Amino acid sequence: MKPHWLLIGCTLAAAAQAQPLNQETQEHYEAQTAAVQPRLPLKLNRFLTVKAVSFHNGGTHVLYETAAAEPGAEMKNAVDALRQSSRQAYYLDVCGNRPPLQTISTSHWVQDAAGRLVTRWANTPEMCAGEEARQAREKGAQQGRMVRKNVRIDESSVKNGVMSATYTLTDRDFNDIATMLPFAVNAMKKQVSAIVCHPEGGMLSGLQAARFIVRDKHGKALPPVDISPIDCMPQPAAEPQESEGRPRRKAKG
């Protein structure tokens, strides 16, 4: 059951979302929310854990929990850093939406280990018109967004049930591993399948297919990796070899 302060906040966030959402926007954020559910609770660092993510009332709502009942200076710094990173992500991923996707609001709630509200903040469509948002989008257009030390996400979207994402490996030159590229593609397919497939089989709710593209630092791309529901089917257990289970012959002595 959600804390009463979270329910009230969701209602206020809905009021901030004045424009009704179209079907494309609704499906896009429902699919994003469904994709993160198998990973919850998600530990961000030694201070904060994502406990719940939901999409309703025209916005995305994220609930975090602190590791201690009484937040100290380090905890407050971690929350401030989280607030800032959520704002930057909002400027890039939401304010930068292209039609037909609309701009939604996002609400963030931090509770302590006892379930008491520590702080909350919201990112709203009105913020997209500010100078801070403009600078963040310009910087993001030039640099993309680093998701790992050597991995940059250049583009991602969910449209009509199809998830698409393009990544750049900023420290790799595919010419150096030309003979290994077929193996790299197969390894990549296994990795990205874990992102869009349920462990028990089937694609995440709202998805019908997915396509991932990976480029090297020069922009050279591997063949696109396509994931379909068939790729999400559980793999049968390997059958034992013919020799397995047979009694071994005793050595002649």
pLDDT by residue (tens digit) across 195-244?
A: 888 878 888 877 888 999 988 888 888 888 999 888 888 776 655 555 55
pLDDT at 57: 87
Would you say how long the chain is, in residues?
Answer: 253
Average pLDDT over residues 105-121: 93
Higher pLDDT, 65 or 179: 65
Average pLDDT over residues 23-41: 88
State how far Cα 186 lies from the chain centre. 22
Q: Which residues of 60-88 are buried (b: 16+ CB within 10 A; e: fewer)?
A: bbbbbbbeeeebeeebeebbeebeeebbb
pLDDT at 64: 95
pLDDT at 249: 57
Q: Are 101 and 25 in contact (CB under 8 A)?
A: yes
Average pLDDT over residues 45-71: 89
Q: Are 68 and 79 in contact (CB under 8 A)?
A: no
**pTM for the complete prediction?**
0.56
If pLDDT is split at 50, 70 and 90, which confidence band does 1 have?
Answer: very low
On the question of pLDDT at 158 being above 80, the answer is no
Q: Give the orientation angle of helix 73-93 with respect to helix 131-143, to 10 degrees.
A: 80
pLDDT at 11: 46
pLDDT at 14: 47
User: In 18-150, which residue ranges form alpha helices assigned H by DSSP?
Assistant: 23-36, 73-93, 131-143
* CA-only gyration radius of the chain, Å: 23
Q: Is 33 helix (H, G, I), strand (E, B) or coil?
A: helix
If pLDDT is split at 50, 70 and 90, which confidence band does 110 have?
Answer: very high
On the question of pLDDT at 250 being above 60, the answer is no
pLDDT at 51: 95
